[in-house]
Amino acid sequence: MNRSSVLLQAAYAACRFLIQERDLPALLQGLCDRLAGHGVYSSALVVLLDQEAGGMITAETGLGEHITPVMGELREGRLPDCGARVLQSDSNEAVLCAACSCRLCSMPGEPVSSLAFCAPLRCSSSLSGFFILQLPPSIEPAPEEAAIVTELAEAITQALRQLFVFEAVKFREQELKQAEERYELALHASQAGLWDWNIKTGEMYTSPDQWELLDYREGSGNPATARRFIHPEDRERVLALLNEHLAGSTEEYRIEYRVREQNGEWAWFLDRGRVVERDENNMPVRMTGTHQNITLQKRQEQALAVVQQQLHDAVDVERNFLQTVIDSAGDPVMVIDLDFNLLLINQAAALLVRGNGEIETLQGRKCHQLFCGAGTPCQDLRFPCPVTEIRNQQQPATLIHNPYHGNSVNNTFELEVSPLRDGQGQLYGIIEVARDITDRLRIEKELRDSQSHLYRLAHHDTLTGLPNRLLFRDRLTQSISKAERNRTGVAILFLDLDRFKNINDTLGHDVGDALLVEVAVRLQRQCRQSDTVARLGGDEFVFVLEAVGNRKDAAVVAEKIMAALAEPIAAKGHALSITTSIGIAIFPGDSDEIEGVIKCADIALYSAKEFGRSNFQFYRREIADNGRRLQLDERQFREAMQSGALRLDYVPQYALNGGQLVGFESQIHWNHPQMGRLLPDAFLAAAEECGMLAAVSLWGLEKICLTLQSWQEQEAGCVPIVVPITSRQLLDPDFFPLLEQLLARYAISPGLLMFGLREQAVADASAQELEVLGRIGRLGIGLAVDDFGAGRCSLVRLQQVAIRRLAVNRQLLACVPADQQAATLVAAIIALAHTLGLTVLADGVEQEEQLVFLRAHGCDQAQGPQLGAPLAGEKAFVLLQSRAKGG
């Protein structure tokens, strides 16, 4: 059989298949199989491109191993050259591909090249493509083969178009069916019946399950055959509305009416309908609508109306009661909504209205019209509008108005204004209570004038005019509060005149008084505006210096005071030369409480007197109160722990690179009622002597563990706390067992604890102490050497103890950077510690210059007055929370 006959048979088989198949993928694949399956063509490829969706549909037969590279190029958007050409051409004719560079027309690796036909498939504006038929190798095409391929392409195109039309019709039928189902479900859910009325024939279609609702013809009179019928009072209205709609006067027929049921009761129905078809004379032909039983809804509406009427009556009763209550109030009371409408007003407020209107006529009118005669709300910034103030602030406010609204009333009124909210919490008005405070303000002014005079008498020294002891304590309290906020220091300088009693006794009290007046003048000249100088009594004076950074600042002021008083003083004709002794204490370094720092300054003044007068002394812990130390016993220790006299503070530690909070150092101190503030060196020895060392150690460690656990539970982001310990504690046989018990009792990580020992204690540690330190380290608790640089600890000993951090000696750091030798030694300590892999902390930083020096030499951490004062546990937690939030 020649090629033309085979080709025609294959084309015929393909056309028959196109007529029968309705599934797109099966149609394309079956087409390829029939064209390449009988030896007519060696391979067939169909490609359809969806321009709108950007997709592609393909089918192939006979490509074999070449399908992978071909599909790869198609997915990348590269079409075969012949396919691209026929799509770009306006012709629908098939083209013969010869010497084409694409993979289909010249298969790589084939021994003999073959030819191929390519024809376009133009289904629609958004869907087009092509198919390629490859001839077997060395086969020449028949003369009429191009025409047959062209006709085949047209047949494929028509089949695809019909297939898409069929799919569209099928899709619309499904949509219509779904719409009908939804409509039926909606009608069923609403319990409505559907009716369709042929007006010409009188025929009416009704929903099968609702037909009886529409049957309300009157019966024959026989109760057994009685049917539903419209209520006589509604029948005329139903017919009238129906006729109006049939005549075209209304767009919709809608009416509610009553129908008598077979049981004799009346049911309510709602009819809705519309003329959907008219003839050439505009006469109605067809009308469609719904018929719904709304009896339950009507009953609910009637019940609701009854309830609303009852509520309305109750509101009227309550409103009358409320009016009676507010009328009994002597002060003006009003309720105003957000649109400035008066909702309620009492008799006292009505008397202030211009014209004194009746309450019934005032309600519902604008408040600014009634009281101010203004068309707009009050704009006077001195007297804010109460409604505007509550709308902006959303909370109660107290306002002062003078005059109050108007009506020739010039008295001053205080307005207590509160927001008025509905049941959902939404603001809808204000409640305003006014009170005439004119007399109160007058009396208060008279009292202030009197109190000002009394205050000066009570708070100032009558002789010198300086603040007295009472005002001094108030000023000191304020200065300490400011220092706590700004993390600065306060210096208290106690001074008295040396041998002042001799002047009084020999020259008389009038000379002594004149001397004190001149001394007060000279002291005030040395006082900054922010500082305070006061006279405590006799020849005792006190300075309060704010924003003191270190002891050097206080020493400068003390030297100026001594120099100012060293000049001879003329008093009542006498030239007097005097000197003064000064005691100095620093808050919070010496004490973080008012009584404590006053006590420290007093002790320092005693020390200055002991040193021979005409000098100043700073408070030192070793100074005995009144020249003696109190004996400490077990009872005092137990009372201190129970009463809170024994306390823990926390010194914040910061990273020098970045400024982050990296830890705290705990400081235990005793606010002794007689000896003032005592640090551990002053009482641990006594605790050991009276058998209370273990109890004090347990108390401190338990407080710290409890604090850490509380911080962890509140997710504050804990940092390690350094706990200073002594050799006495290490040698106490109960210390380590107590430590293990605490770690087991409190859910904290041992890594949050670090024990700090002084360098000398580490250097002199015995074998027993080293063994305890090793056991502590194995628990996971860090070890640190404090006060490094003041002792003689060897590098071998540092490695034996497994130290993690060194703290530079405070006295050594105090000389930096002015003292070059000290600066060199500190730099060497930092370098040594880093060589050993240890962290370095600078303790006692008081100046910004020290921070600059430490950063320049790579110091890791620092603490001291320049960075932050010791904090109580609550304030330390606030600082920790600030760190966790990025503060």
* CA gap 444, 436 in Å, rounded: 14
Residue 288: strand pairing partners: 196, 274
CB–CB of 483/490 below 8 Å?
A: yes
Residue in the structure block whose two tokens are 């009016």 = 323
Secondary structure of residue 288 in the 3-state scheme: strand
> What is the reported pLDDT for 221?
41
Burial 85-110 (b: 16+ CB within 10 A, else e): bbbeeeeeebbbbeebebbbbbbeee
φ and ψ at residue 251, rounded to 5 degrees: -75, -25
> What is the reported pLDDT for 180?
63
> What is the reported pLDDT for 109?
53
Pairing verdict, β 540-548 and 55-61: unpaired
Residue 479: strand pairing partners: none
CA distances from 222 to 157, 217, 218, 235, 264 (A): 73, 13, 10, 22, 13
Secondary structure of residue 729 in the 3-state scheme: helix
> What is the reported pLDDT for 101?
59
Angle at CA 708, nearest 5°, toward 702 and 710?
100
Angle between helices 594-610 and 469-486 (to 10 degrees): 110
> What is the reported pLDDT for 492?
95
* CA gap 673, 599 in Å, rounded: 10
DSSP type of residue 625: B
Task: Give the amino acid at 467.
Answer: P
> What is the reported pLDDT for 783?
93
Strand extents, DSSP E, 127-265:
127-134, 192-198, 204-206, 229-230, 253-260
* CA gap 776, 674 in Å, rounded: 37
> What is the reported pLDDT for 767?
84
Q: For 305-358, write each residue's pLDDT tens digit.
A: 887 777 777 766 766 667 777 776 778 888 888 888 888 888 777 777 766 666
Residue in the structure block whose two tokens are 């509008």 = 385
> What is the reported pLDDT for 546?
92
Sheet holding 342-345, edge to edge: 342-345, 333-337, 427-436, 413-421, 397-401
Both tokens of 562, joined, read 């001594």
DSSP string, 827-838: HHHHHHHHHTT-
DSSP type of residue 224: G
SS (H, E, C) 58-97: EEEECCHHHHHHHHHHHHCCCCCHHHHHHHHCCCCCCEEE
Both tokens of 533, joined, read 């100088």
Pairing verdict, β 580-587 and 489-497: antiparallel
pTM (predicted TM-score): 0.36
* CA gap 647, 588 in Å, rounded: 14
CA distances from 863 to 656, 703, 854 (A): 10, 22, 12
Both tokens of 320, joined, read 């009358």
Secondary structure of residue 105 in the 3-state scheme: coil
Cα 854 from chain centroid (whole Å): 37
Both tokens of 868, joined, read 């932050």
Q: Quote the longest CA-to-CA distance of the chain.
A: 158
CB–CB of 707/873 below 8 Å?
A: yes
Rg (CA), the chain: 52
With a cut of 70, which residues of the chain have pLDDT below it? 1, 38, 99-113, 179-192, 208-228, 315-316, 318-321, 328, 354-358, 360-361, 373, 402-410, 450-455, 610-613, 622-631, 681-682, 685-686, 688-689, 790-792, 884-887
φ and ψ at residue 145, rounded to 5 degrees: -65, -40
List all residues 6 or more positions away from 693 whose beta carbon is below 8 Å from its beta carbon.
684, 687, 728, 729, 732
Cα 605 from chain centroid (whole Å): 53
List all residues 6 or more positions away from 20 whose beta carbon is below 8 Å from its beta carbon.
none
Both tokens of 737, joined, read 């067992």
Q: Report the candidate in 293, 292, 275 with the shortest Cα–Cα distance to residue 284.
A: 275
Residue 230: strand pairing partners: 259
* CA gap 343, 337 in Å, rounded: 7
> What is the reported pLDDT for 755?
93
List all residues 6 or more positions away from 531 whose beta carbon is below 8 Å from its beta carbon.
543, 544, 545, 546
CB–CB of 571/511 below 8 Å?
A: yes
Task: Give the amino acid at 55.
Answer: G
* CA gap 750, 781 in Å, rounded: 5
Residue in the structure block whose two tokens are 């002789």 = 463
| CB-count exposure of residue 683 (10 Å: 0-12, 13-18, 19+) | buried
Pairing verdict, β 574-576 and 413-421: unpaired
CA distances from 613 to 523, 536, 554, 616, 837 (A): 18, 19, 18, 8, 51
DSSP string, 11-40: HHHHHHHHHH---HHHHHHHHHHHHHSSSS
Angle between helices 693-713 and 680-689 (to 10 degrees): 130
Q: Report the candidate in 348, 375, 345, 338 with the shortest Cα–Cα distance to residue 360.
A: 345
